[in-house]
Amino acid sequence: DIVMTQTPLSLSVTPGQPASISCKSSQSLLHSDGKTYLYWYLQKPGQSPQLLIYEVSSRFSGVPDRFSGSGSGTDFTLKISRVEAEDVGVYYCMQGIHLSFTFGPGTKVDIK
Amino acid sequence: QVQLVQSGAEVKKPGASVKVSCKASGYTFTGYYMHWVRQAPGQGLEWMGWINPNSGGTNYAQKFQGRVTMTRDTSISTAYMELSRLRSDDTAVYYCARSRVVGATGSGYWGQGTLVTVSS
């Protein structure tokens, strides 16, 4: 099974400042179809998770452009250009390359 | 708009089974895979498997093989997840989540979650 790791596991950010979360997979997520199946989700307190980014860097419908994803192979990054109060919650990366999916442990983001 | 409405909270005894439903609307039910994901209290997300509502084909996480069964009723656009031989550590919120696009892709739309409590 592919193991996903995230760093840091918690992050406290001043509003208006940038934030960055790293995600690493134990195997390459590059599929033979040319796509890389790495996703980012945000679970706000008391809510269901919501998709932010799919296939490394594509923003899902309605996601603000302050969220961006990058990376390749086994190393990925989610960046928030200017954190807002509504961005608090737990961020998860997830892989889905071999029709089975695994989540990272999550990164809890709160506001200073 | 895509909506996934799950059944209500359940309390079960150890050894029993639970069946959670997920009624879909706002799209063609048979066109998109349905994932099931669970979250134990205070813990992270755990993928359980998916079902292809068109064919009924499934893919389960190895951890749940032999205990989980995912089915669907296309006539009422509803997916089901049944977990058997429940243990206390199966206490969790169970989510259904529709694939973003056609195929076994990551989920873009989530249900509200169903709390399953396993307690004697």
Structural tokens at position A56 = 């490394």
Q: What is the pLDDT of residue A78?
A: 98
- Closest residue by Cα to residue A39 from A66, A62, A18, A60: A60
Task: Collect the ranges in chain A with pLDDT lower than 70.
Answer: none
For A94-111, what is each residue's pLDDT tens digit? Answer: 999 988 999 999 999 999
- Nearest Cα of chain A lies from the Cα of B81 at a distance, in angstroms, of 17
Of residues A1, A39, A49, nearest to B110 (C-beta)? A49
Cβ of residue A49 closer than 8 Å to a chain B Cβ: yes
Return the beta strands (E) in B1-120 as ranges: 3-6, 10-12, 18-25, 34-39, 45-51, 58-60, 68-73, 78-83, 92-99, 107-110, 114-118
pLDDT at A98: 84
Name every chain A residue with its beta carbon within 8 A of the beta carbon of B95: 48-49
Residue B100 has its nearest CB partner, among A43, A51, A90, at A51
Res B103: pLDDT = 77
Residue A96: predicted pLDDT: 94
Which DSSP string corresponds to A58-96? EEPTT--TTEEEEEETTEEEEEESS--GGG-EEEEEEE-
pLDDT for res A76: 98
Residue of A nearest to B49 (CA): A100
pLDDT in tens, chain B (120 residues): 999 999 999 999 999 999 999 999 999 999 999 999 999 999 999 999 999 999 999 999 999 999 999 999 999 999 999 999 999 999 999 999 999 887 778 899 999 999 999 999
pLDDT of amino acid A44: 98
Contacts of B22 in chain A (CB under 8 A): none
Give residue B101's pLDDT: 85
Which of the residues A36, A42, A48, A61 would you substitute to probe the B interface, choosing the one with the greatest number of B C-beta atoms within 10 Å?
Answer: A48
Structure tokens at A11: 């992050």
CA-based nearest distance B71→chain A, Å: 18
